[in-house]
Amino acid sequence: MSKKNAVIILSGGMDSVTSLAYAVNKGFGCFSITFDYGQKSKSEIRAAHYYSKFYNCKKHKIFQIDFSSFSSSALTEADKSVIDDSSNKIPSTYVSMRNIIFLSIACSWAETLSCEDVFIGANAIDYSGYPDCREDFLKAYEKMINIGSKTGSEGGNFKIHRPLVNLSKAEIVKLGHSLGVNYKKTVSCYQANEEGRACGKCESCDLRKQGFLDNNFPDETLYI
């Protein structure tokens, strides 16, 4: 009996790799998609390639899109610091409507594959305050994509799986360990170097570090 297929949005970071491991554990045959969107941390793309092979994804697609040509973010602009010490609710590392765009492309590929399941590692508990990582957004997006797609119009039903959305970083690490995930090659840092080593100073590093600490697990992150 053939596996049910799913498209996995895979950045190469802790959350997306945990989502991939979760999907594999649930019996899905996985097609992974990674976005090269002009981010400073290119090593995360290599991490995504590694985990796609490790989890035997049927195909790994790298989709190029230059966000810096139409938006502004500390993740894509060299002169902007990823260390955000402002009091703004939404930090400078926010990439305008990134998940909306990523999900639309992933769903387009899924429809082409005759696949209705899409996984995203979005998290709304220990996160940076990005509005497109929240459950209410993802629920509304799922409804919208089913109204506006061939899949939905012909009686199908896209399911946007977000297994981590209501988990703390500690709970994500615990889940990953229960699934046998080795996080050493994952890249979560906003400004990781070419080897994928983390700065240990940005918000993403802080959240990841706390996830290991809260579980009394050794920090698997490789630092500069």
Residue 191 lies in a domain: no
Residue 215 resides in a domain:
no
Per-residue pLDDT tens for 96-153? 999 999 999 999 999 999 999 999 999 999 888 899 999 999 999 999 999 999 999 9
**Within a domain: 147:** yes
CA distance 68 to 117: 30
218 falls within a domain: no
CA distance 143 to 139: 6
181 domain-assigned: no
| Gyration radius of the chain's alpha carbons | 17
The residue length of the chain stands at 224
State pLDDT tens for residues 74-95: 999 989 999 976 666 899 999 9
199 domain-assigned: no
What are the b/e assignments for 85-102, b being 16+ CB within 10 Å?
eeeeeebbbbbeebbebb
* Residue 202 within a domain: no
Domain carrying residue 41: 5-168
Q: Which of 207, 160, 167, 12 has the alpha carbon at shortest distance from 20? A: 12
The structural domain count of the chain equals: 1
CATH number of the domain that residue 47 is part of:
3.40.50.620
Rounded Cα gap, residues 50 and 55, in angstroms: 9
Q: Is residue 193 part of a domain?
A: no
Triad 47, 48, 51: Cα angle to 5°: 85
Global pTM reads 0.96
The tens digit of pLDDT for each residue in 24-52 reads 999 999 999 999 999 999 999 999 999 99
